[in-house]
Amino acid sequence: MIRCREIGIADLDAIADLLTRGFPIRSRDYWIDGLRRLSVRETPDSFPRFGYMLEHDRAPVGALLLIHTARNDGGSTSIRCSLSSWYVEPAFRTYAPMLTKVAQRHEDVTYVNISPAEWTWQTIEAQGFQRYCGGLFFSFPALSYPVKAMRVEIFRQDTQAIDGLSEADVALLARHAAYGCLCLVCRAADGRAFPFVLQQMRAGGIRLPAMQMIYCPDVPDYVVCAGAIGRFLLRHGRISIALDANGPVAGLVGIYRAVGRKYFKGPHCPRLADLSDSELVIYGP
């Protein structure tokens, strides 16, 4: 007998074993570390903390990990759900639609898939998802002209407040600093503050001389701050910042590549260059 239910704390070891079999390029520690982060992370009321599983003979045979976040969109609170890793044992694949149906049943929730495999694109689109990001723009910010007197400060996770930033931005920076992201605040000469969250990019476990933009308030803010950020990163051996884009970004020097397609379904189309509270930071690149 097969049933679909929420993943609970007692299931985490078995879920980690299942996902390690399903994604052999990921270690078991990768899954355990991410699940532990979810176990202490604030989750909106009435939504699952970890996601859903298919159970057979009291053992998981399928799992769909979810990350729910309450967000402020235009003054009102909305819920975004990042659809993370999905795996079902081959003998139980016919039951896989049970997972997606249960996980995506809320019409007022915006569902986001930021790492779909190419072979799943048609299936995702058939489920009602729309593409909102077609690729990545690899910028070389040190080649941008720096704004006069702009300073770059590293944000520490125990920081309580920053002049010019809202409480929500400070909380977001603190959260992501705790996840191991590089959180920066650019300070303009007139006192304005611009928050940024960056993450080291990796390929096959190899650290690249590039960072990925996890969060900025708006892409034009990055264009303004690019010169200062680029010179800061250059001193730490980082030459490029990759950000979500649908083509070349005006005001930046770089190269656009049609890789990293991203989808959404629901009432709010995600902004480009906002991957905050996603699987990239909860589980890691």
**Which of 150, 107, 148, 102 shows the shortest CA–CA distance to 128?**
107
pTM confidence score: 0.91
Answer whether residue 18 shows pLDDT above 70.
yes
What tens digit of pLDDT does each residue of 155-180 get? 988 888 899 999 989 999 999 999 99
Q: State the pLDDT at residue 119.
A: 87
Q: What percentage of residues in the chain have a pLDDT greater than 90?
A: 79
Q: State the pLDDT at residue 173.
A: 96
Q: State the pLDDT at residue 241.
A: 97
For range 40-59, the mean pLDDT = 94
For range 201-215, the mean pLDDT = 86
Answer whether residue 254 shows pLDDT above 70.
yes
Q: State the pLDDT at residue 160.
A: 84
